[in-house]
Amino acid sequence: MVETTYDDCWLRYDRVEETLRAAYRERLSHAYVSEGAPELGAVRAELRRGLEGMLGREPHLWQHPPRSVDSFLVIGHPEEMRPISETIDPEEAWDLADGGFLLRTVEWEGQECTVLTASSDRGLVYGTFHLLRLVATGEPIDDLDVCEEPANANRIVNHWDNPFRRSVERGYAGQSIFDWERLPDLRERYFDYARLLASVGIDGIVPNNVNTGIPPRSTANDAVAERAGWQLLKRENLEKLEALASVFRRYGIRTYLSINYAAPIRLGGLDTADPHDPEVQQWWQDKVDEIYEIVPDFGGFLVKADSEGQPGPYDYDRSHAEGANVLGEAFEGHDGRVWWRAFVYSEHDDRAVQAYEAFAHLDGEFHEKVTVQIKNGPIDFQQREPVSTLFGAMPETDLGCELQITGEYTGQGVHPTSHVPMWKEVLGFDTHADGEGTPVKDVLTERDGQGIAGVGIVGEDPNWTGNYLLQSNLYGFGRLCWNPDLSTEEITDEWVRQTFGHDEAVVDAVSEILLDSWQACIDYHTGGIGLMHMMYNGEKTLENHYDPAPWEWPEYHGATADGIGVDRTTDGSGYAAQYREPLTDFYDDPETCPEELLLFFHHLPWEYELEDGTTVIQRLYDDLYAGAAAVDELRERWLALEGQVDERRHRHVAERFDEHALQAKRWRDTLCEYFYEKSEIPDEHGRVPAG
């Protein structure tokens, strides 16, 4: 099969500057690498590729310590090779968390060694990518003393890819890269995707959509059902899964599956999927055992149940805990688990309160093999949302956080909106679950059954992500899962240097574009003070979630003749009351509620005065105009890089910016006109046409 060529993303390994090259060559031209595990094959291949690209020649790979050189690199387990066992305390290395590694410059028998060691094979993979990143970003490596461990025990990408059909739900970068029709044939692209993921510390992928009964909202016909995700639990497809898993395993990445709760009926021929039914329990047990025979390092199940048309335990009057636990029990004795999503809502009441109502009271009832996976906010990956109340409400449960790497509401594959600052805000949010100082990032890292999942972004497009600049979100997702304390600036700088090189003008311009992109996105999509969900949906057409249509979902913004916003205070829908104190009081009072979320929590008169004396309506107008103007400015910054970035990438991103600038104005004008129509209050600056 002929593969189209595609981009290397941040693993370009461009030649490093002449002035730095000698120092790197000195340390890295000779490498003694263990052959202990398949992952070490990936390590050797990456060293060859990376160092050849960056230093202009492949390293010499040895099977014993090279004695004729002053300096060499050594990679292996703590007690495996003398240059490691005689210089590093094995306890220090064995004590590292799974995936952690030590990278240290030592002297051994008169030679200088750069030692990379880890307690696990995947740790050696991560350490290798870390070392290559140091070279790619121009950092010195003469005196290393690095000890890294992943903060989050699980760092998983959830692909919403529909197998066989190869469409990607909320994917904006072409078809799915996973070709189930042809598996077990392997594509080069799988290996390169695994490299990209491992380079930022991702350790799991779910290759199929959470909607396993696609399409959930229309009548499924046989041809569609034949190709739906729930079919992947069939033996012949599990064998295909193992082929895929064999690629990702080499990079320390485990493979999971999204499953359909009604599988015992659809596949097993039972007449129920009731979790209390012994036959159902046995069916799941047998299925999980069968999977482990085929895929020995299987990661587990991801489940969307009782949500948007997917079956679940409610069909049998059972709770989410009862529903999840039958699956959890099937994983006893296996090294895998169940990621049970908390994304549930029904068509009535305030959607924001619903996940908490369905889950919070079940705290402590979930099986130890179950993780409850919560979207970052209570609505649905909006441009900005308050952080979900559930993170502070279930201390006895293994919680996972679900973020969206793809840009369903943030400009899809067109607008280069960086999600990194948003994720930083989410992970840093203080839940007060255990008193002041219990941020989400700490809630997620208490136990090994926890972690972060991100909804995937890649597709068949040559640039993988729809817009070259959006590669930064995949990069940033992995880096933040690894270390949520990295700053947005650090992550952005790393990504830009590896992707576009070290020309300071380019680094500054691209970084500024990314750093300013999120606020711009919030401003032109929402007006900046807590509104959301004003996009076009259109049941009968493509649900585009891209264009503005504030009239479609008035309950989400609450605009009426007297004011705007939704009362979610304790006296309103009660969402604010789901937080721990003092957060409830803080959000309940419009005087203390942060302005960026004001209209999410409060329905206020159009002329309510904000802190700086501006009225709500005027602020909406101003922020919508500021957002569209900011996009023009981002575009200008990019256009000014012509000739400094290769033409192919420059032109592609420039074209996306043309569309982006138009779309930002479309949002601005639609929302301004709508708010004017409701409020009948003109814009002080006369920009919004009256009527």
Residues that bind ligand GCU (CB under 6 A): 169-170, 210-211, 304, 308, 343, 380, 408
Indicate which residue of 365, 380, 552, 673 is catalytic: 380
Per-residue H/E/C for 126-138: HHHHHHHHHHHCC
* Smallest gap from residue 402 Cβ to ligand GCU (A): 8
34 vs 211 by CB, closer to ligand GCU: 211
Phi-psi region of 15 (alpha: psi -120 to 50; beta: other; left: phi over 0): beta
Question: How far is the C-alpha of 580 from the C-alpha of 394, rounded, in Å?
Answer: 11
Q: Nearest 5°: CA angle at 663, between 659 and 666?
A: 145
Partners of residue 453 on adjacent β-strands: 156, 402
Question: How far is the C-alpha of 272 from the C-alpha of 265, rounded, in Å?
Answer: 6
412 vs 498 by CB, closer to ligand GCU: 412
Place of tokens 């209390």: 276
* Smallest gap from residue 540 Cβ to ligand GCU (A): 16
Partners of residue 71 on adjacent β-strands: 112
Per-residue H/E/C for 229-297: HHHHHCHHHHHHHHHHHHHHHCCCCEEEEEECCCHHHHCCCCCCCCCCCHHHHHHHHHHHHHHHHHCCC
152 vs 373 by CB, closer to ligand GCU: 373
Beta carbons within 10 angstroms of residue 22's beta carbon: 9
202 vs 210 by CB, closer to ligand GCU: 210
Q: What is the DSSP letter of 412?
A: T
* Smallest gap from residue 208 Cβ to ligand GCU (A): 12
Q: Are 377 and 341 in contact (CB under 8 A)?
A: no
Return the SS3 of 686.
Answer: coil
Q: Are 394 and 434 in contact (CB under 8 A)?
A: no
Question: How far is the C-alpha of 152 from the C-alpha of 141, rounded, in Å?
Answer: 26
* Smallest gap from residue 277 Cβ to ligand GCU (A): 26
Indicate which residue of 408, 493, 622, 623 is catalytic: 408
Give the sheet arrangement for strand 101-108, strand by strand.
60-62, 30-33, 71-76, 111-118, 101-108, 145-148
Which tokens in the block code for residue 681?
């209050």
Backbone angles phi, psi at 18, to 5 degrees: -50, -45
Question: How far is the C-alpha of 214 from the C-alpha of 389, rounded, in Å?
Answer: 30
169 vs 523 by CB, closer to ligand GCU: 169
376 vs 498 by CB, closer to ligand GCU: 376
46 vs 169 by CB, closer to ligand GCU: 169
Annotation marks residue 380 as catalytic: yes
* Smallest gap from residue 309 Cβ to ligand GCU (A): 9
* Smallest gap from residue 542 Cβ to ligand GCU (A): 12
64 vs 348 by CB, closer to ligand GCU: 348
Indicate which residue of 95, 109, 226, 308 is catalytic: 308
* Smallest gap from residue 614 Cβ to ligand GCU (A): 33
* Smallest gap from residue 380 Cβ to ligand GCU (A): 5
* Smallest gap from residue 384 Cβ to ligand GCU (A): 17
Give the sign of the dihedral formed by CA 408, CA 409, CA 412, CA 418: negative
Question: How far is the C-alpha of 32 from the C-alpha of 623, rounded, in Å?
Answer: 58
- Which residues are catalytic, by number? 308, 380, 408
